[in-house]
Structure 1
Amino acid sequence: MDKSNHVEINGDRFVHRLKELTDAEKQCLESQNMRIIPKLKAAKLEKDAKRHWDIFYKRNETKFFRDRHWTTREFQELINFDPDERIFYLELGCGVGNMIFPLVEEGFSNFYFYACDFSPRAVEFVKRNKLYDDNRMKAFCADLTTDDLFDSVTENSVDLASLIFVLSAIDPTHWSHVATVAYKALKPGGMLLFRDYGRYDMAQLRFKAGHKISDNFYMRQDGTRSYYFTEEELLKLFMETGFEIIMNTYVQRRTVNFKEGIDVPRIFVQGKYRKPLEGKSISTCEG
């Protein structure tokens, strides 16, 4: 990263330039082009996406992803509410509840949680969690590439929504629809909180030939997929959907495991996108 163009916030480094690749990293990316996934196989991956994620959760249950205790630090919007105010929060792509249950543990008693996921098995794990409470949360299956979310959530009813490491798993041809679904669910003035994988993240550079579907879009060994974003792509996507851009930038982190001797840099993209108040013009802020 360009060290002259960053700002530190709570231990995270926010940057506004794409990572400059070393010669070795450029060679890694070039080698990925030696064998691209055929179109027929790519189409089958799209068709079987739900099945692959269901198998993923069958294999890993609730043990793969860590609980996201960092969200209130990163997204002050979660805590900038009157504690007596009823807040409706929607997690788009909830997995097994790694974001909502830490919020429950932190005492967000004024929140009502909607939690949806593509995988029926993931939703079932959410409902089995000891913190799940029918009186203050509703977990359900929804495909964000369709409008079936609105069978469970009323349009213009949500104060906050999140897309945390979700959009990258969806074929780029569907991104516009996913962004529109989020927009339609939010109240005017509501906020979408976003984090996902950034371009040239360590995970992208580690893919071998035979895993690349298309530019910056890859198949993992288990059949799930991952895309690696630039901030410009996200800016364009959410502005065209109608959001005000409050934040849209890269964030640099490190994955550290002292026991296994792991210390590697990570690159994510992070955003805050607000649905304008009725009659308010769209403007951009940070990013």
Structure 2
Amino acid sequence: MSQSFAMEKSDAGQISHVAKRLTADEASRILEQNSRLVPERKAAQFEKDAKKHWDLFYKRNETRFFKDRHWTTREFEELLGLGVDDGVLLEVGCGVGNLFYPLLEDGLKIRRIYACDLSPRAVDFVKSHKLFDPEKIVAFEADVTEVDCFSAIDLPVNVATLIFVLSAIHPEKFKMVAKHLYAVMNTGGTVLFRDYGLYDMAQLRFKPGHKISENFYVRQDGTRSYYFSIEEVGDIFVSAGFQELSCCYVQRRTINVKENVNVPRIFVQAKFKRP
């Protein structure tokens, strides 16, 4: 799909890029979301219970919810460059291994894979996979907002992935996560990022009562989601010391013929390097 971009004023009056221009109906929907926000006390409880909600998510869905991400090597050629003796990959928010297990199935040779997730149940699913090799794969539970979150990592990381992960974290902690990641990256190491973009279809569908703060929402199951502008993503990583290689909106379509679903999606895709 061709990408059409617009410029829009934020509440602070600054001009920023957006991936789409809202229709009158969509703009009305965004305003309607503001009519009933999640109460502060309840929002604080969602923050406190983040681990519990993600663990319940994997209890309900097990390994069935997310499809294996065979598209990653098309979008991020850096993953193919890991196929050498000293390649070290870190997947932040690994879930049940939908990113790195397809790489192994395709025959990619990697020295070490570090895979972490907030949900202990998700980590258990990683360890129960038929391709799990404790000599090669270090799977561990981690809250990546905490200082010692990456204590299990004992090799410098060549490539780290943050694929639909940062959006589940409180916006006040985004830069903290980037700093923790910077600390374990090898010189010249690359961070590969993809997450939900501003005015993505999923953001527009939220009803009043689900908005926590600007562009930050809670789903019915208690998990949360943030919707990024490209300026925000660049600032998060550059402020931690990374060099921005690329950062842009990508537009795709979610298609499910069985359920008659064919909707446009907006994501932010970026690459950052530790100098």
* Shared fold per TM-score greater than 0.5: yes
The Cα shift of 1:147 comes to 2.2
The amino acid of 1:220's aligned partner reads R
**CA distance in 2: counterparts of 1:265 and 1:235, whole angstroms:** 24
Query: Which position in structure 1 is the counterpart of 2:103?
Result: 103
SS of the equivalent of 2:135 reads coil
Query: For the aligned residues, what is the CA RMSD?
Result: 1.7
Percent of aligned pairs sharing the same letter: 56
Query: Which position in structure 1 is the counterpart of 2:249?
Result: 250
Query: Which position in structure 1 is the counterpart of 2:45?
Result: 44
The Cα shift of 1:257 comes to 1.1
Q: Is there any run of 5+ residues in structure 1 with no aligned partner, and where?
A: 7-15, 277-287
Query: Which position in structure 2 is the counterpart of 1:13?
Result: none
**CA distance in 1: counterparts of 2:109 and 2:237, whole angstroms:** 30
SS of the equivalent of 1:96 reads coil
Query: Which position in structure 1 is the counterpart of 2:182?
Result: 183
Q: Is there any run of 5+ residues in structure 2 with no aligned partner, and where?
A: 7-16
TM (norm. structure 1) is 0.89
- Asked if 2 retains the 8 angstrom alpha-carbon contact of 1:2 and 1:19, the reply is no
The amino acid of 1:47's aligned partner reads K
The amino acid of 2:167's aligned partner reads S
The amino acid of 1:28's aligned partner reads R
Query: Could you give the per-residue CA deviations for residues 150-195 of structure 1, whole angstroms, max 9, x where no partner exists?
Result: 32013x7111101100000000111111001111110010000000
**CA distance in 2: counterparts of 1:3 and 1:268, whole angstroms:** 11
SS of the equivalent of 1:107 reads coil
Query: Which position in structure 1 is the counterpart of 2:120?
Result: 120
- Asked if 2 retains the 8 angstrom alpha-carbon contact of 1:2 and 1:17, the reply is no
**CA distance in 1: counterparts of 2:150 and 2:166, whole angstroms:** 19
**CA distance in 2: counterparts of 1:80 and 1:225, whole angstroms:** 33
**CA distance in 1: counterparts of 2:260 and 2:36, whole angstroms:** 32
The Cα shift of 1:39 comes to 0.4
Greater shift, 167-176 or 109-118, is seen at 109-118
SS of the equivalent of 1:79 reads helix
Greater shift, 139-148 or 210-219, is seen at 139-148
TM (norm. structure 2) is 0.93
Query: Which position in structure 1 is the counterpart of 2:13?
Result: none
SS of the equivalent of 1:168 reads helix
Query: Could you give the per-residue CA deviations for residues 209-251 of structure 1, whole angstroms, max 9, x where no partner exists?
Result: 0000000000000000000000010111111111111110100
Query: Could you give the per-residue CA deviations for residues 47-86 of structure 1, whole angstroms, max 9, x where no partner exists?
Result: 00000000010011011111100000000111135x4432
Q: 1:158 to 1:109 in 2, by over 3 A?
A: same
Residue 228 (structure 2) pairs with residue 239 (structure 1): no
The amino acid of 1:46's aligned partner reads E
Q: 1:32 to 1:203 in 2, by over 3 A?
A: same
Query: Which position in structure 1 is the counterpart of 2:146?
Result: 146
